Structure 1
């Protein structure tokens, strides 16, 4: 048998093996789904985003590309609703199990064993109750809530969960008690696991937690620690009113987000896509000159904050070629380049206290254009938006009152943040 024939045989064998493996996998999947339904549970092959839309704490609430997959829905033997779902985002991929609790509660993070805390969590580490024993980590925004929630009964049930699996990673998320990595592959294991997990939820329901009940949030794609951010997705009307690149063709938007943080300025953020096409000349293998059309795809991040008044044009960026306007601080001049059409306005806004703020919190380059502040952030993601939002709120708070009055406002629209607000804002970046 020659070499070509051997290759053909190998390819045919590999193809046949692939087909057999595909059939085996399909049969196993159907048997698995049948075992779930025999328990009275519902299996959803392609759930809509509504399945997790109300959840806002990691692994939910982070990133722009989030996708729920296989979902199991049902009730425990005592009637407590549960779901087990596969979830994927830019930052995490895996299975999540959750059971419903009777109240919408603040976030609480309970990690035991060798399990690592979840990506993106911003919480304060609080002491672990002695009833939990060694090896547990507790996180919360409100230590008083954590202390009230971790009753001896709750600790007992958590220890029981930890005895049955190597790591426990539990959190509260509104009216859901959430745990990562349930034993979802085998219904015979998943059933008892859910029953045991439900006992933790029952113990939390029995704890005196009414003072911490949270308001109900609308069922939409939410963002961790940013309750006033809104997912829009696509809004190509923005192409006509924002400073996007105008050249090229096939312009479009994606991952459009609007919102604000607290009393800060509202923002719009999105990715702008477009294409350029060019004709280039090349020489083929026979030495003949040919032409071909080349199309390239491009994208850029757009981030703008709406200001409360029209501002004279002002640009603040890192020092590059050219010094811009000279200020009294050489350290500032060495680090930043400021340009403005109205030099007095620039001196009024970039005063010594503002210079200290800029040097301590160097931002992405930004400019005031009429009643918008546009940032050249370079990337479109949740941390960048949050950072620019927090920075700009502090920058605007340092603009003197007389400047706002000269712009037609009765007073400063952004009073200085008190230390408690600054701490919360920094935690939520």
Structure 2
């Protein structure tokens, strides 16, 4: 055996032993950390279920389909206020979050101070920060009056106390939870006082006269930011029986199933469809012999459908392609869109001049009406794609004339126009 081989073997052994040693050290440290948590009367859960974050819908929660709660610490402050410190991972953010419970569910509010930036995905508008907070603070809310009523002098005092001694504060109200990013979870001697101070902020919020802002109690399910009537299902293979999936191949399954609706719009179901196909191909091996092998290919497609209150005649609206489609009086519309229908008069009734103007301006995805369902070709299975198609379809349905709905058997339009 050469000296080089011996050296490499020694290095390999050292690396293996070193890796095992560091693994043991990490395990011992983790166990000591968990023991210290429990000595404080708190509870540690290494694999919490989705219920741990099920009622939270504001960023970093409520975004995307990949949501994974991890290590969780729960307990109560000295005043009996329930708290949670949890690791959370999604497609958009990964880190630790600390929160305490408020006495009532309230609208979203965002407060950042110090070397922090507003969270990804937040839709609230910036409003003036109270002078009591001092320079460098940012506040966001959907209603400036609400932010003003929350941020009383007492709340501002507790917020500045929370910010003292740390880089910054990134705080929000999410229902009945006061949520802060990046709690000092590694140092339990710091975490305890930090939670007490966060509880003091919550007490100041509870003391503010905010009853007129109380929100409905959120349901215990995974929801989506600014889409309160959307909810996560996960898997529902019964959908494969009636949805317009690609029916070739085998091993069909659903993933990331979401149901819901937006306002008075039609309810929807959205999911990703997976399946497999196999094929046999010939090849020449290293000896020059012809062999065959089976190749398995994996496929997926987004499915998005909206259920109508009544069946409508077939109608398909898509981008102009090789097909000519029905001609309308607008040359600009004919250049962009291909419309097909069994009943041309019905198509002309639905695709009137105002409807054409809307479709050209909105630039939505292709869709097809089939009975009491509208099926989209969304291009991707994502929260923004669902939201866009939902708004696009609602605008389309709101422009279907009343006499069309009456001819179909309804007394009036189920989707009143949203604008003139």
Report the TM range for the smaller structure's normalisation. Answer: over 0.9
- Aligned residue runs from structure 1 range 31-70, under 5 A: 31-70=32-71
Is the 8 Å Cα contact of residues 109 and 172 (structure 1) preserved in structure 2?
A: yes
Secondary structure in structure 2 of the residue aligned to 1:122 = coil
TM-score, length-normalised on structure 1?
A: 0.95
Distance 1:412 1:274 in 2: 39
1:27-106 paired onto structure 2 within 5 Å: 27-106=28-107
Paired residue secondary structure (1:321)? coil
* Distance in structure 2 (CA, Å) of the matches to 1:19 and 1:56: 41
Following superposition, the deviation at residue 418 of structure 1 comes to 5.3
Question: How far did 1:10 drift?
Answer: 2.0
* Aligned counterpart, 1:226: 227
Name the CA distance, whole Å, in 2 between partners of 1:418 and 1:198: 45
RMSD of equivalent CA atoms: 1.4
1:222-247 Cα offsets, whole Å, 9 max, x none, are 11122222322211111110100010
SS of corresponding position for 1:415: coil
CA contact (8 A) 1:62 1:223 kept: yes
In structure 1, the residue matched to 2:110 is 109
Q: Establish whether residue 260 from structure 1 lines up as the match of residue 261 from structure 2.
A: yes
**Which residue of the partner structure matches residue 309 of structure 1?**
310
Partner of 1:379: 380
**How big is each residue's C-alpha offset from its partner over 1:240-264, in whole Å with a ceiling of 9 and x where there is no partner?**
1010001000111111121111111
Does the 8 Å CA contact 1:72/1:83 hold for their aligned counterparts?
yes
CA contact (8 A) 1:32 1:186 kept: no
C-alpha separation in 1, matches of 2:353 and 2:10: 78
Give, in angstroms, the shift of residue 332 of structure 1.
Answer: 1.5
- After TM superposition, the structure 1 stretch with the greater mean CA deviation from structure 2, 116-125 or 390-399, is 116-125
Q: Which residue of 2 aligns with 1:411?
A: 412
Secondary structure of the 2:189 match is helix
Q: Could you tell which deviates more after superposition, 284-293 or 295-304? A: 284-293
User: After superposition, where does 1:341-360 map in structure 2 within 5 Å?
Assistant: 341-360=342-361
Partner of 2:193: 192
Cα distance in structure 1, aligned partners of 2:330 and 2:9: 75
Whether the aligned pair in 2 keeps the contact of 1:70 and 1:85 (CA below 8 Å) is yes
> What secondary structure, in the 3-state scheme, does the structure 2 residue paired with 1:228 have?
coil
* 1:70-110 deviation line (CA, Å, top 9, x unaligned): 00111112221111000111111110000111111111111
Structure 2 residue aligned with 1:15: 16
CA distance in 1, matches of 2:222, 2:233: 9
Question: Which runs of no fewer than 5 residues in structure 2 stay unpaired?
Answer: none
> 2: CA distance between counterparts of 1:417 and 1:127?
31
SS of match in other structure, 1:107: strand
Taking the aligned partners of 1:208 and 1:200, their CA distance within structure 2 comes to 15
Write the distance in 1 (CA, Å) between the matches of 2:177 and 2:362: 37
Corresponding residue of 2:179? 178
Corresponding residue number in structure 1 for 2:25: 24
Q: Please report how far the alpha carbon of residue 275 of structure 1 lies from its aligned counterpart in structure 2 after TM superposition.
A: 0.3
Task: Report deviation, 1:265.
Answer: 0.5
Q: How does 1:116-155 map to 2 (within 5 A)?
A: 116-155=117-156
Distance 2:202 2:94 in 1: 24
**In terms of mean alpha carbon deviation, does 14-23 or 34-43 score higher?**
34-43
Paired positions, count: 419
Deviation at 1:368, TM superposition (A): 0.6
Distance in 2 between the 1:418 and 1:395 partners?
11
Cα deviation 1:361-398 (Å, max 9, x = unaligned): 11111011111110000211111111111111110000
SS at structure 2 position matched to 1:56: coil
- Distance in 1 separating the partners of 2:309 and 2:67: 33
Query: Normalising to structure 2: TM-score of the pair?
Result: 0.97
| Deviates further, 327-336 or 235-244 | 327-336
